[in-house]
Amino acid sequence: MSRLLRLSESLLKDAIERGLIEINLYDMRQWAHDKHNTMDDRPFGGGPGMVLKVDRVVPCVEEVQAFSEIPGRVVMTTPQGRLLTQRVVEELAREERLIILCGRYEGFDQRVVDILRPDEISIGDYVLNGGEVAAEVIIDSVMRLIPGVLGDENSAVVDSFSSGNRLLEEDQYTRPREYRGLSVPEILLSGDHGLVEKWREHNRKVKTFARRPELLDGETSED
């Protein structure tokens, strides 16, 4: 839980204080009413690991949903989910309320998915110990699209990967003009805005071609 509290830092803290977003944390253990607050159990059929219990998770989510008139979209962090891309982030940012369900080490009983029909989301093809990190990534990427959260409204629009923008960002420089023999490209010092824009566009394309050519084809894993 303590890691999630880091969320209250900086931009997010500011957005919460300004009433732009509200975040509530719930510990699913509160819905485990036995003596040991058991949340998981051994898998039927055997095998390693533990499984999060359906009769703990479902009542927890349903109760949290009922705290508001808007039930909200239930998101489950799982390496088996659809990949989180900027397009998915934009989709989530349009929701009034999100309920993010995080697993820890173990998976959920399949009936949690069958009953709640969550939007299963993976933040990448690797396995984390806990879904909290994935939840932080989702919160961080979604909240910056909420109007007013970023100081400059435009900064999210021109980001790499925002809808309609399939190019990586151009190289950036600031003073000093020269450092350890490395100079800032002359054009950026020319004061000619037309030339500067041309250079930036070229730089974005070259960089994208070298690093992420599939973005230029419009072929991404989200398509």
- Taking CA atoms, 84 is separated from 50, 79, 121, 137, 176, in Å, by 26, 11, 6, 9, 38
Backbone region of residue 161 per phi and psi (left: phi > 0; alpha: psi in -120 to 50; beta: other values) = left
Which is it for strands 40-41 and 51-52: parallel, antiparallel or unpaired?
A: antiparallel
Between 86-93 and 131-143, two packed helices, what is the crossing angle to 10 degrees?
Answer: 70
Cis upstream peptide for 147 (omega within 30°): no
Q: Is 127 among the residues that bind ligand ADE (CB under 6 A)?
A: yes
Binds ligand ADE by CB under 6 A, chosen from 52, 54, 123, 167 = 123
Question: Tokens representing 99?
Answer: 């309920």
Please choose, out of 27-35, 109-117, 127-135, 161-169, the segment that lies near ligand ADE by the rule CB under 6 A: 127-135
Question: Which of these is catalytic: 90, 159, 169, 171?
Answer: 159
Which one, 102 or 188, has the nearer CB to ligand ADE?
102
- What proportions of the chain, in percent to the nearest 5, are helix, strand and coil? 40, 15, 45
Please choose, out of 86-94, 117-125, 140-148, 204-212, the segment that lies near ligand ADE by the rule CB under 6 A: 117-125
CB of 134 to ligand ADE, least distance (A): 3
Please choose, out of 61-69, 120-128, 168-176, 198-206, the segment that lies near ligand ADE by the rule CB under 6 A: 120-128
Question: Which of these is catalytic: 71, 73, 79, 212?
Answer: 79
Which one, 105 or 179, has the nearer CB to ligand ADE?
105
Q: Is 86 among the residues that bind ligand ADE (CB under 6 A)?
A: no
Binds ligand ADE by CB under 6 A, chosen from 126, 151, 180, 217 = 126
Q: Is residue 61 within 8 Å of residue 99, measured between CB atoms?
A: yes
The answer to whether 159 is a known catalytic residue is: yes
**List of residues contacting ligand ADE (CB under 6 A):** 77-79, 122-124, 126-128, 131, 134
